[in-house]
Structure 1
């Protein structure tokens, strides 16, 4: 039987409830019988705001509110075991309360150490399938003064002990000593929770007033989780540790600020649930896209090898035994999923084998999908493209504006998991960097989360192997000398076809090339690599005699990703390029001629079914360009590669900018790869290019790379022009924005203050650049922009929109709505109804419908 301190009680239960808000109190060392209620109740008005105020608010009228009570004294006094027990208690009680409504979104609201209980509960739910539905339904967590890490002057255990001292109002005792030493505040919980925290949105309310003589209990640093982008938001309240979650009336300023932010999170949770239902039920329109009824859904997409290297079926020979085995193992079966892994050395023909199999047996599968599995980003890009195919040829531009990348990936996986869709084949090609248990890797990843959930369909994975396989004993002399490596044979064949040399003369030249390579290569270079590299060296010498600029292009491409190489990538910014590259890109026909020369010798491939004019390098060729052609990395070519990426960076004022920038993201990953970034001199790179790469990285969510690049750009600007130059201050301001989006508010504030002071000194308080700098300056900025450029200029409208966001965050909803409507009218007039900013403002206005 539940005691007065052990319950999960419904305190608001409207008809047609659409979300569960679960309130969890913190430490109760005095073991007060009514601590669960008192945590949220005003000392003066005696109003429990979760029950008395929240249900009266817009958007929250249909929220069911539950109050969790537990013996916090026992929980925290018995260390980790006690907290884990109460976390399980919370999960068990919540599971019973949600019987039959598992899809209803959940929002946890926690005070102080109650957040530790909730974090333990979500870690437990991840490990225990019994509570998986609760974890999946959890949209966000609202923390009131919850410590997540040590503060400026105390570790996490000390902060917990300080909270106990606040409750007990007495001197240190054994209970507080136990809290100080307790492992429950150590790295295990932090690491386990951080592993899944990106699944949730976090809203943290931070105390700013001291609690009596104890001062601040949980400071800003301790109250920060440090999540990326928009996952975490911090709001500072004029309250101490005790009063931060108590409100006397619904008209109070702090309550308006709190409820406005909670209302926004609830609305986002409801929108996310609606989107999930749309994805589950394809009969409901997704944004402006109307999908077919279940009975008429099309699971027959046919074969798509978009992005895969092109192979000539006429010259694909042999491998009959392997093809027969694949046919046997991958034949569609209704009762289980077939999985086959093809492993082998680089250049052995794994990709060619998989593509040939797909073409040969395409009529046996309802759909064949090829995905580049080089890393998680390339897989995700492939699944986004699949979502577009599934939607039956509707406009891709409309799709990407209404579905973000995560939704599109989830949509594709759900489609592959539908019960009537069992006869597909998915090829994960080039999965060469798997995450291996027990081995730390900065790049390795687990491919399994990209598999469909249901046990059906067929999956083919190609990956490199460290084991050497030899060719046929009856192979011709050249094939024997090349160890039967198809890529080496292809290169040799291309060379012979392009020259008048005989097999005998080619073999003699090969032996000389081999000897030279063996004498000058690293002893650790694999034997099979030397075999391939020798054949390519011969081709390279021939190309250099015919088209020397093609060799330079090959060397340049070593610093870019091996996929998606197109004319404009090299052509933009041609006026500042070296003469040889300007000659290559002076026209598209000239560019194609140079690339065609590399293609003639099988050193370059045309991507099939890709956008027009895209080239790619085989991974083995790509390795060779870096390890041999550029054995001593060339700073000038590296600088040039960075410049090519930077010149193609798109700003957020351009339509579909994130699509273009994501396309460049894989090339940024290449210049940031360990082998390159540690061997080149970044001082050779233009500071403006560093700035653009930083911005590009930020727009595609690569915040770590963005921060590194901004810091490099800042150092470059300071060195070249001084700390008060406008470009320096722009970079300072962008770093501030990046820190803010990461929840690093103290660092963001420092950057804002520096940028604002510098710009005011340089231009005065009314200059438009000064007015861009900080959130606190939006109203001042708006007046300045209107005066300088007029009310309909896009910069004026951006500030109007930002003011709307600020008012919404403060709970000033009427003023927010006015600003959003003004921004919407201006954006539609400037850019039309389909622009990304128009769609963004419309989503914000949904809060008021």
Structure 2
């Protein structure tokens, strides 16, 4: 009641203080412990980040701009696009910002958008990170589907950890990856997008994104970077030579880093660097970067320095240069060193005719020697080596600009090198026993390798299509025909295991067309022809082409023994195909009946089909390979099929194992025996219809007579045709 004083209720007397005091102290300690726990800042949850450079100079203005735009203490969602030519330091600037400001964020999600495959892989990694790390004291995700992109975006929209940072790195083709659709639709969070294309800034400007164009480093910062990499100290009056080099190279951090390496190795000196640079530059003036890059002249300067450095590597360590070329074939993505080493451990006809490939095969037999060459490349800033962690293997990464420069040079990216890497990588991933459902015997379905390998395969496939004459891979006389048959089979299996069924169909069909040529040699496909047929059947089933699926499954049955373990899997697939076929037929017939009834409801007379003449009936019968009577009965049977499709699960599944145990054909057993079985009426009708369809189309007169003699089936047939208006 108003004005009441309840303070004295349950108040202890003085004589009870000693007895209840420990209880009060315990409650006080408990409350303090809770407050201390809640006041402790949670460590940010961070995706696996790219390898950062050990040296970072300048960019203080850009870092301040990033903090001002993305300040998480300000309300609303904030975004910024960092664009500039490859090698200008976009990724390293972002990594530097994360290193300095990560404590301000509850989570950092890094997405590599350099290709659609890398994007899918990064979203998958983010999916697993979020699923494992964001379950405690957070809202449940509002998305329950299987699309990884939608899952990640939904979680970012719904999470209580609102101070997150999303990085979309290397969005160099913003239109093909639908960049705007990667932006979470919410009023919180921070987003950084890096791209070589100014288009990315234009696309995201309507969403309130700011932009930074990374240009050259300042003279002082650039000179400091060169001299640090060169490991030389010069008097202040000599630093002007380094500044001239900075200006000559356009201030690009990657070019300056490599220039410092050249100085350190005494390939050139401060006094003659520009002279040597101009000599190489004239030879490379014909190179044109791809359309859309900014500052084309700076791209040429970077490639010129790369050319000088690469020439020095070839002189000092030809094996290291070969490693660099082979890494460029795989692409600018992290490659586990163990996988890369295993590429050289298989027998191939190519190395026997190539001295350079022979040398690297011999070098790879000694891990210590191979690592020396890798360390040299790392020391020259051509690759970065990432140490092993709990979740990931030790890996090597080639910068995108270096990869592009090598693959664009015909002399450095020869067809035999591409074929060698494709063949070796496919064999590494698909070696081992494998199975019909998982032919990638070199890895498992839940492994990190099975996810990241798609970007390697896509890049190699692109190089094969772009740089190799198709005549060299065509049987029977193509120079690389035998190797490409194996490549097509392995690539098809890799796409199959990653549910990329359209690509799997293309490659596996190509491998199948090569099979007569391959079977005449000592080679064979991994897993044999049975696995090839089965994977094709599954791929066509998944894409909805049930006719092709059944065709390849029948071919698999013809190449399999009934006692094999694979036989049960093929039986299961056959049942899936039949079920889906029946469902499709049921949907089509239901749509036709609905349309027919709607016409009647509206008072429209159904269109009466023209009565076929005797000539028409004979022509139709000839086309179907049966007599006119049989052809007419077949159409009635198809009408009956539409009415009784719902009986397939009960009847056909129950009788299929029995039929197979008898070891006889469909027409012989299911028609002549099933009609006399005591089955429920609807089940009997459906089974007889399904079992006899092919027999009627093949003009099996005895089957037709048996059907028509069965009074029950005749009633079903008449009733079905009446319902369908036939």
For these two proteins, the number of residue pairs brought into alignment is 474
CA deviations over 1:470-501 (Å, ceiling 9, x no partner)? 55467611100100011100111122223374
Match of 2:337 in 1: 567
Call closer, same or farther: CA 1:300–1:795 in 2, change over 3 Å. Answer: farther
Question: 1:770 aligned to 2:512?
Answer: no
**Residues 533, 556 of structure 2: 8 Å contact kept:** yes
Equivalent residue for 1:581?
360
Residue equivalent to 1:657: 445
Cα pair distance change 1:367/1:405, threshold 3 Å: same
Q: Quote how far apart the aligned CAs of 1:391 are.
A: 4.8
Select which of 347, 358, 371 maps to 2:111: 371
For residue 671 of structure 1, what is the aligned residue in structure 2? 460
Distance 1:333 1:522, change over 3 A: closer
Match of 2:280 in 1: 513
Q: 1:481 to 1:676 in 2, by over 3 A?
A: farther
Q: Report the Cα distance in structure 1 between the residues aligned to 2:43 and 2:650, rounded to whole angstroms.
A: 49
Looking at structure 1, the residues matched to 463 and 417 of structure 2 have their Cα atoms a distance apart, in angstroms, of 17
Which residue does the alignment assign to 1:250?
none
Question: What secondary structure, in the 3-state scheme, does the structure 2 residue paired with 1:616 have?
Answer: strand
**Equivalent residue number for residue 486 of structure 2:** 688
Matched residue SS, 2:114: coil
Corresponding residue for 2:10? none
Name 2:82's counterpart in structure 1: 342
Query: Is 2:263–2:269's contact at 8 Å kept on the other side of the alignment?
Result: yes
710 and 348 in structure 1: CA distance in 2 versus 1, 3 angstrom threshold: same
Distance in 2 between the 1:621 and 1:567 partners?
18
Query: 1 or 2, which has the higher helix percentage?
Result: 2
Task: Tell me if 1:747 matches 2:526.
Answer: no
Contact 1:332 1:458 in 2 (8 A): yes
Q: What is residue 78 of structure 1 aligned with on the other side?
A: none
Verify the 8 A CA contact 1:572 1:647 in the aligned structure 2: no
> Residue deviations 1:71-104, cap 9 Å, x none?
xxxxxxxxxxxxxxxxxxxxxxxxxxxxxxxxxx
Equivalent residue of 2:365, what SS? coil
Equivalent position of 2:193 in the other structure:
461
Distance in 1 (alpha carbons) for counterparts of 2:164 and 2:290: 42
* 1:621 is aligned to 2:402: yes
Please state whether the residue corresponding to 2:166 is helix, strand or coil. strand
1:734 counterpart residue number:
535
Q: Is 1:533 the counterpart of 2:533 in the alignment?
A: no
Asked whether the equivalents of residues 513 and 534 of structure 1 are also in contact (C-alpha less than 8 Å), the reply is: yes
Change (3 A) 1:713 1:796: closer
Structure 2 residue corresponding to 1:491, chosen from 237, 248, 258: 258
Question: How far apart, in 2, do the equivalents of 1:361 and 1:306 lie?
Answer: 16
Match of 1:549 in 2: 319
State the 1:795 CA deviation. 3.8
| Equivalent in 808, 811, 814 of residue 649 of structure 2 | 811
Could you tell me which residue of structure 2 aligns to residue 558 of structure 1? 328
1:708-731, Cα deviation, whole Å (9 max, x unpaired): 2113212222234379x9955653
Secondary structure of 1:368 counterpart: strand
1:167-566 paired onto structure 2 within 5 Å? 300-302=42-44, 304=46, 306-312=48-54, 315-333=55-73, 335-391=75-131, 406=146, 409-418=149-158, 420-435=160-175, 444-465=176-197, 469-470=215-216, 472=218, 476-499=243-266, 501-518=268-285, 521=287, 526-566=296-336
Using the TM superposition, give the Cα deviation of residue 507 of structure 1 relative to its aligned residue in structure 2, in angstroms: 2.8
Kindly tell me: are residues 547 and 508 of structure 1, through their superposed partners in 2, closer, same or farther at Cα, counting changes over 3 Å?
same
Query: Shift in Å at residue 300 of structure 1?
Result: 4.4
Contact 1:575 1:582 in 2 (8 A): no
Deviation at 1:334, TM superposition (A): 5.7
Partner SS, residue 340 of structure 2:
helix
The CA distance in 2 between the partners of 1:515 and 1:643, in whole Å, is 37
Q: How far apart, in 1, do the equivalents of 2:570 and 2:39 lie?
A: 45
Structure-1 separation of matches of 2:460 and 2:108: 33
Aligned to 1:167: none
Question: Given that residues 267 and 312 in structure 2 are in contact (C-alpha distance below 8 angstroms), is that contact kept between their aligned partners in structure 1?
Answer: no
Shift of 1:502: 2.5
Post-superposition shift, 1:739? Answer: 1.9
- The offset of 1:325, in angstroms, is 0.7
Cα RMSD after superposing both structures: 3.8
Query: In 1, Cα distance between the equivalents of 2:486 and 2:77?
Result: 51
After superposition, the Cα gap between the structure-2 partners of 1:508 and 1:668, relative to the gap in structure 1 and judged at 3 Å, is: same
TM-score, scaled relative to structure 1: 0.50
**Cα deviation, residue 339, structure 1:** 0.7
Match of 2:519 in 1: 721
**Contact 2:107-2:161 within 8 A present in 1 as well:** no
Deviations 1:725-784 (A, max 9, x none): 99556534533332222111233344445555xx4xxxxxxxxx424xxxxxxxxx3xx3
Q: Which moved more, 1:710-719 or 1:479-488?
A: 710-719
**Offset of 1:524 from its aligned partner?**
7.9
Q: What CA deviation, in whole Å up to 9, does each residue of 1:141-198 have, x standing for no partner?
A: xxxxxxxxxxxxxxxxxxxxxxxxxxxxxxxxxxxxxxxxxxxxxxxxxxxxxxxxxx
Distance 1:297 1:575, change over 3 A: farther
CA drift at 1:340: 0.4
Deviation at 1:415, TM superposition (A): 3.0
Stretches of structure 1 that go unaligned for 5 or more consecutive residues are 1-294, 396-402, 436-443, 760-768, 772-780, 786-793, 820-849
Partner of 2:423 in structure 1? Answer: 643
Distance across 2 between alignment mates of 1:541 and 1:386: 40
Q: TM-score, normalised by structure 2?
A: 0.58
Question: How far did residue 511 of structure 1 move?
Answer: 2.0
* Secondary structure in structure 2 of the residue aligned to 1:406: coil
Higher relative contact order, structure no. (Cα contacts within 8 Å, ≥ 6 residues apart): 1
Change (3 A) 1:296 1:702: farther
Q: How many angstroms apart in 1 are the aligned matches of 2:39 and 2:61?
A: 37
1:345 partner SS: coil
CA 691–675 in structure 1, closer or farther in 2 if over 3 Å, else same: closer
CA distance in 1, matches of 2:571, 2:529: 26
Secondary structure in 2 aligned to 1:657? coil
Deviations 1:301-330 (A, max 9, x none): 526362413211xx3111111111111000
Q: Give structure 1 regions of 4+ aligned residues with deviation exceeding 6 angstroms.
A: 295-299, 806-809, 813-816
Encode CA deviations 1:3-45: one digit per residue, 9 max, x unaligned: xxxxxxxxxxxxxxxxxxxxxxxxxxxxxxxxxxxxxxxxxxx
In structure 2, what is the Cα distance between the partners aligned to 1:512 and 1:733?
58
Per-residue deviation at 1:469? 4.2
Which residue of 2 is the match for residue 23 of structure 1? none
Contact persistence 2:44–2:102 (CA under 8 A): yes
Cα distance change on mapping 1:320 and 1:303 into 2, 3 Å: farther
Q: Is the contact made by 1:334 and 1:456 (CA closer than 8 Å) also made in structure 2?
A: no
Spell out, residue by residue over 1:505-549, the C-alpha distance to the aligned partner (whole angstroms, 9 max, x if none). Answer: 33332222112222x646989422221111111111221122111
Aligned to 2:51, the other structure's residue is in SS state: coil
What pairs with 1:86-105 in structure 2 (closer than 5 Å)?
none
Instruction: Say whether the 8 Å CA contact 2:113–2:119 is kept in structure 1.
Output: yes
Question: Based on CA coordinates, which of the two structures has the bigger radius of gyration?
Answer: 2
